[in-house]
Structure 1
Amino acid sequence: MSVRPSPSDDDLDDLLLSCRYGELEEVQQFVSKFGSGVIPTIHDNNGNTVLHMVCANGHVDVLEYLLPLVPPSLISAQNEALSTPLHWAALNQHLTVAQKLIQFPAGPGADLIDIKNASGRSPLGEAENAGWEDGARWLVQMMKLEEGEGAVGDAGEDEHLDASQNVEVEIEDAEGKVARMIIGGGQVQADSSPKTH
């Protein structure tokens, strides 16, 4: 069994750039030459990982290649601003990337939606802040709601919501605004208004 060479600092920088610019072939060459073991340790001066670079720029093919090679913990890794790759995908409005991150079988799933960055915003908050309604709707649909939370009406223990019933969800962002969404009947309606107490 031959021992793989160790990548130089230039090799590590080149990998980050390849992830940033979506150069799948270069990423594959790095893995062929050095293996995937070092990938989780690579980050730039701001703590951004290869997944931050890929997700910020919407490179689905590189993301699909990397996800099975890295530990699931890298999916929720936070940079110096405490943003995860999902924050960056939401900020830059990359729905397919957000879906791949949350739906990756070995990953943290919908728990990613609850992580807040240094600005106090979750990925959903970043989506709302960027005016990305489609992404915000999808993230709300993926969220884990507590039992009974958001349900309109008074459903008993034996009652279940079906597709024809509406569910109202309220989510408060870091600025105290409440986003209200009604999900049901195959449609989603959104309303955002200041929180009143």
Structure 2
Amino acid sequence: MSHFIPSDEDKDDLLLSCRYGDTEDIQSFVQKYGASSLNDFRDDNGNTVLHMVCANGHTDALDYLLSVVSSSLLSVQNDAGSTALHWAALNSHLTIVQRLVQHPGGPGKDLIDIKNAAGRTPLGEAEIIGWEEGAKWLVEVMNLDSEGSKGEEDQVVGPSQDIEVEIQDAEGQVAKMTIGPQAVSEPVGKS
């Protein structure tokens, strides 16, 4: 199938459709111009189509885009170094955060470790805005292999046990969080 080349106005319209979650317009664009062009589009700040739908919590548009774009787009950083996951976390969109991290063929939980220009991960962004539900979920799925635990014997945790974790953010603040069936839904405290 032969596709036309989109004009700058077409590209701007697509980015607006992503921003506003207009899945039908996004699908129409792909039918006319092809899906591969979506991987290269950026706004003036380096934001991709994924940045737009994720920042605004558009689950249907995200599901469609994830079915047609390259999974490498998940880890693309904008001019401020933020990924679509940073934006989803900053705007407290748990379903979007989960879909990005769990997308088959994508970077997975490694997305959680990407730092933006401010030195913050998506988890750090969630903590700064006080989004406890998202921070808790990110902690539960993130890579917890720290240098201090290498070489130590793995411990098996039973289904009724709580686990306490400490996370240090970019500013050096340490947050303690309990994860498990008896866990409190908010961090235990900051030191």
Given the two structures, how large is their TM-score scaled by the length of structure 2?
0.92
Shifted more, 109-118 versus 185-194: the winner is 185-194
In the alignment, is residue 127 of structure 1 matched against residue 123 of structure 2? no
1:187 aligns with 2:183: yes
Q: In the alignment, residue 190 of structure 1 is paired with which amino acid?
A: P
Matched, 1:138 2:142: no
| 1-structure distance, mates of 2:158, 2:5 | 55
Shift of 1:147: 7.7
CA shift, 1:192, in A, is 3.7
Counterparts of residues 18-29 of structure 1 (less than 5 Å):
18-29=17-28
Q: Quick check: 1:169 aligned with 2:165?
A: yes
Q: Kindly provide the amino acid, as one letter, of the partner of residue 170 in structure 1.
A: E
> How do 1:8-47 residues align onto structure 2 when only pairs under 5 Å count?
8-47=7-46
Secondary structure, counterpart of 2:165 in structure 1? strand
- For residues 155-197 of structure 1, give each alpha carbon's deviation from its aligned partner in whole angstroms, at most 9, with x where no partner exists: 855x521212221111111111111111123534513423xxx
Q: Give the stretch that moved more between structures: 66-75 or 48-57.
A: 66-75
TM-score by length of 1: 0.90
**8 Å Cα contact 1:48/1:79 also seen in 2:** yes
Gaps of 5+ in 1: none
Q: Which amino acid aligns with 2:41?
A: I
For the structure 1 residues 193 and 68, does the alpha-carbon distance in structure 2 shift closer, same or farther, using more than 3 Å as the test?
same
Structure 1 CA distance, aligned partners of 2:182 and 2:67? 33
Give structure 2 stretches of 5+ with no counterpart.
Answer: none
Amino acid at match of 1:110: K
Match of 1:102 in 2: 101
- Answering whether residue 55 of structure 2 is matched by residue 56 of structure 1, we say yes
Checking the alignment, whether the CA contact within 8 Å between 1:179 and 1:192 is kept in structure 2 is yes
Distance of 2:182 and 2:147 partners within structure 1:
20
Structure 1 moving runs of 4+ over 3 Å: 147-150
In structure 2, what is the Cα distance between the partners aligned to 1:43 and 1:135? 27
Q: Deviations over 1:70-117 (max 9, x none)?
A: 111100110000000000000000000001000111111111111111
CA–CA distance in structure 1, aligned partners of residues 147 and 81 of structure 2: 31
Following the alignment from structure 1 to structure 2, what is the Cα–Cα distance between the partners of residues 32 and 185?
47
